[in-house]
Structure 1
Amino acid sequence: MSVHDQAVAAVLSQLALAADGAVLGIGLAYVAIRSILKFTATTSALRKIDNAPSVQPSDLRSLLSSCNTEGKGNTCTGGSTNQSNGDGGKLVIVRGCVEAKSAVEGQGMILRGNTSNILVSQESREKGVILQRTQTYIYNEWRGFFGWTADLRSIFARSWKDQETSTIRTVPFVLVEAGRPQSGYVIVNMEGSSHPLPLTTVYHHLKPISASPYTFLQALFGHEYPVGLLDVEKILLLGKNITAVGICSLRNGSPEIKSCKDLPYFLSDLTKDQIMADLAFKTKVLLLSGVVFGSLAIGILGYAILRNWNRWKDWRQQRRAQQNNSASNDVSPQIAADEETGDIPDGELCVICLMRRRRSAFIPCGHMVCCQRCALSVEREISPKCPVCRQTIRNSVRIYDS
């Protein structure tokens, strides 16, 4: 575990155990609520994908045309399996091969020899329609001889550094039917999509960074410095079979599919059955985690509330006892003067101070051998005991002469 992770774990553990675990209980309750909300969203997505038709790119044009002619206005009808949006689109699942849009000619004809308007990997020379390049800096974990401030600095300073830079390039592309590229296509609209992409890693290389004189000073004073650069290239290859799950509509006479924000998938390597199996497993995990974390949160919060309630009651009792002691300690000036200056026989002197008259009796032993002030000082000890019989006492009572 790095210094940054250790510092964060120490701070989080102390924060979580604060207030007898109340902060931890609130955190678990938040996780449980998030799990239940994700369970609801995943269940809804599973139901939508189950009701969505799975078609080939060649069937989309006829499906969307019938949907527009049979529906009223721009709404698609035809039962519970037809789901549409406001602009005449319909939720469908399309399985096809990736081709560049520049390869489309006229009525869905594919020019197999056309390689214009495609992306080429700089290292592997693979061709595709989406190219993502990521460079990640790897930092050392040594604190150095003067790195006593590294824990505090690592919590805040690490986020200020640009550890990773990522660039992504895309070109217009379509999905065609595998084995029958001339039968039809669907244009993939990537605008506004934040879903994960089924990219293939074509280049992965770790480059060491040469040390400099400044690096020695950084290591000496515990400052982190980069020791390596990880360069990764991922690409969506031409001819790759993928599944598109989204809203499909006719745009300028051509079918076009775009992502749906309510669904966790847009472009995927999985088939419809595999997507449904994955979502069904996630719903079970989310439901179980919601129940488990919710039960733990209720138990921890209940324990924290009970402990703090008992502490508050003990504090109130101690406060009342202090008030009662202070009230009983307020002796009238005349009585105090009598105790200090009166003619007191030797048998009635306090056994502790040997100056004032015996006025307080201890409970439960009943010995009256101390003045009121010394009795109160005995009461305030950690383990109060009678100075005569050494029995543990609870409190004392002021005795007045009749």
Structure 2
Amino acid sequence: MSVHDQAVAAVLSQLALAADGAVLGIALAYVAVRSILKFTANSSALHKIRDAPSVRVSDLRSLVSLSGDDADNSDRSDGEKLVIVRGVVEAKSAVDVNWKSLRRNVLISNESGEKGVVLLRTQTCIYNEWRGFFGWTSDLRSLFGRSWKEQGSSSLRTVPFILVEGGRWPQSDYVIVNMDGSRQPLPLTIVYHHLQPINATPYTFLQALFGHEYPVGLLDEEKILQLGKDITAVGMCSLKNETPEIRSCKDLPYFLSDMTKDQMVVDLAFKTNVLLCSGVVLGSLAVGILGYAAVRNWNRWKAWRQLRQVQQQNAAANNEADSQTVAEDEETGDVQDGELCVICLMRRRRSAFIPCGHLVCCQRCAQSVEREVAPKCPVCRQTIRNSVRIYDS
């Protein structure tokens, strides 16, 4: 692991363990929710594909016609029915009855000469990175530079095509494939693959010197959907001008695929089980981590609050002690002999005994006399009940 990768890992670990793992718990909860949502979508797609009829191209017309008459069919929408049909790819121009049918409308690979109905050409620039003499600059770019790298460009071309049955078919036994709005992956075949090295330039040397990424090769690829390929179409089928047409269903992960219906069911069932298990496990971990973080932070808050209360009490006690000290300093200041306490002979007389009313003691000595078993006035020896502090006006 390089230095900048270690730095990124350290930063991510510190962020994940922040607040006693609360950030990590939230991230796991997000992943768990995403897993549960994907599980729900895959489970729904699994039930739809499992219940969808698998028919031949020649049976589509009668099946869609019957579904259009069935008002209780839950899969029907404006005469559409979810079906699974397997057939062979053929250009639509082969069945068009007009003068254009004399020339088939197909796509031809520029490099291999293969014929198809879908042509995907991609150019990917491959980068390399040497840390160079000033490679420390890549550590600063490592957090952001990954998203700046341009991978390449691609172009997708399609022509109208159909699926026929077994390569021999009357003109009525075919289904038109509608690619509008399709986002599912296509079963394309690589017909051209070439990696061309890029010659180094003085600018490339400067990029390498300062630790920047520099291009080392250009990868050209061509993928096509070949004529005569046996594929499976999963989608909504309807009659357009008395001709069956199938289009993709956005709720399904498949549209055109090399797999059969049984293979799709097995694949979706496996993905559904994995998503369910991952959602449950990650959700349990998220709940445990968030609960631990909540308890830890709650205990920290309670400890902080108790410490705050103790600090406030200590501050109040210190203020009271300071005030008492100031008061005692005032009481033990310049006091005349006739105003001194008769017990300690240090502080000013401030407390009068009840019921005798003698003002002969300071407040501290008066409280000491009150705490005796049989409190009596030190002057008249009369039993006292309590004392009261006397303030000068």
TM-score in same-fold range (> 0.5): yes
2:218 is matched with: 229
Shift of 1:6: 5.4
- Checking the alignment, whether the CA contact within 8 Å between 1:52 and 1:93 is kept in structure 2 is yes
Separation in 1, partners of 2:132, 2:124: 23
Aligned match for 2:180, one of 185, 191, 195:
191
1:375-394: per-residue Cα shift (whole Å, max 9, x none)?
xxxxxxxxxxxxxxxxxxxx
2:104 is matched with: 116
1:262-315: per-residue Cα shift (whole Å, max 9, x none)?
111100000011111111111111111111111111111111111111111111
SS in 1 for 2:64: helix
Separation in 1, partners of 2:8, 2:236: 43
Give the AA of the match of 2:282: F
- Checking the alignment, whether the CA contact within 8 Å between 1:202 and 1:235 is kept in structure 2 is yes
1:360 is matched with: none
Describe how 1:371-386 pairs up with structure 2 within 5 A.
none
Give the AA of the match of 2:26: I
2:142 is matched with: 154
- Checking the alignment, whether the CA contact within 8 Å between 1:96 and 1:242 is kept in structure 2 is yes
2:114 is matched with: 126
Inter-CA distance 185–216: structure 2 relative to 1 (3 Å threshold): same
SS in 1 for 2:136: coil
- Checking the alignment, whether the CA contact within 8 Å between 1:127 and 1:238 is kept in structure 2 is yes
Give the AA of the match of 1:155: L
Separation in 2, partners of 1:144, 1:240: 50
**TM-score, scaled relative to structure 1:** 0.76
Inter-CA distance 142–270: structure 2 relative to 1 (3 Å threshold): same
Separation in 2, partners of 1:14, 1:116: 62
Shift of 1:115: 6.2
Aligned match for 1:88, one of 75, 79, 85:
79
- Checking the alignment, whether the CA contact within 8 Å between 1:7 and 1:155 is kept in structure 2 is no
2:43 is matched with: 43
Separation in 2, partners of 1:154, 1:34: 28
- Checking the alignment, whether the CA contact within 8 Å between 1:64 and 1:249 is kept in structure 2 is yes
2:352 is matched with: none
Out of 164-173 and 202-211, give the one that drifted further: 202-211
Give the AA of the match of 1:312: W
What is the alpha-carbon root mean square deviation over aligned residues? 2.7
Aligned residues: 332
Give the AA of the match of 1:13: S
Describe how 1:335-346 pairs up with structure 2 within 5 A.
335=325
2:61 is matched with: 61
Separation in 2, partners of 1:250, 1:6: 60
Describe how 1:227-306 pairs up with structure 2 within 5 A.
227-306=216-295
Separation in 2, partners of 1:119, 1:178: 22
- Checking the alignment, whether the CA contact within 8 Å between 1:7 and 1:152 is kept in structure 2 is no
1:100 is matched with: 91
SS in 1 for 2:135: coil
Inter-CA distance 162–3: structure 2 relative to 1 (3 Å threshold): farther
Shift of 1:4: 7.4
Inter-CA distance 201–251: structure 2 relative to 1 (3 Å threshold): same
2:385 is matched with: none
Flag as ranges the 4+ runs of structure 1 deviating above 6 A.
Answer: none
Separation in 1, partners of 2:26, 2:298: 17
**TM-score, scaled relative to structure 2:** 0.77
- Checking the alignment, whether the CA contact within 8 Å between 1:2 and 1:141 is kept in structure 2 is no
Give the AA of the match of 1:54: S
- Checking the alignment, whether the CA contact within 8 Å between 2:131 and 2:212 is kept in structure 1 is yes
Give the AA of the match of 1:47: H
Separation in 2, partners of 1:237, 1:3: 47
Shift of 1:222: 2.1
2:342 is matched with: none
2:345 is matched with: none
Inter-CA distance 2–258: structure 2 relative to 1 (3 Å threshold): farther
SS in 2 for 1:155: coil
Separation in 2, partners of 1:2, 1:181: 61
Give the AA of the match of 1:100: A
Shift of 1:186: 0.5
1:138 is matched with: 126
Give the AA of the match of 1:300: I
Inter-CA distance 20–88: structure 2 relative to 1 (3 Å threshold): same
1:19 is matched with: 19
SS in 2 for 1:182: coil
**Structure 2 unaligned regions, length at least 5:** 334-363, 369-393
Separation in 2, partners of 1:120, 1:21: 56
- Checking the alignment, whether the CA contact within 8 Å between 2:232 and 2:256 is kept in structure 1 is yes
1:105-152: per-residue Cα shift (whole Å, max 9, x none)?
449xxx8xx662111112222111111112222222323222323233
Inter-CA distance 151–244: structure 2 relative to 1 (3 Å threshold): same
Separation in 1, partners of 2:104, 2:11: 55
Separation in 2, partners of 1:312, 1:334: 34
Separation in 1, partners of 2:5, 2:230: 40
- Checking the alignment, whether the CA contact within 8 Å between 2:76 and 2:82 is kept in structure 1 is yes
Out of 142-151 and 243-252, give the one that drifted further: 142-151
Describe how 1:353-392 pairs up with structure 2 within 5 A.
none
- Checking the alignment, whether the CA contact within 8 Å between 1:3 and 1:154 is kept in structure 2 is no
Q: Give the greater-gyration-radius structure (CA).
A: 2
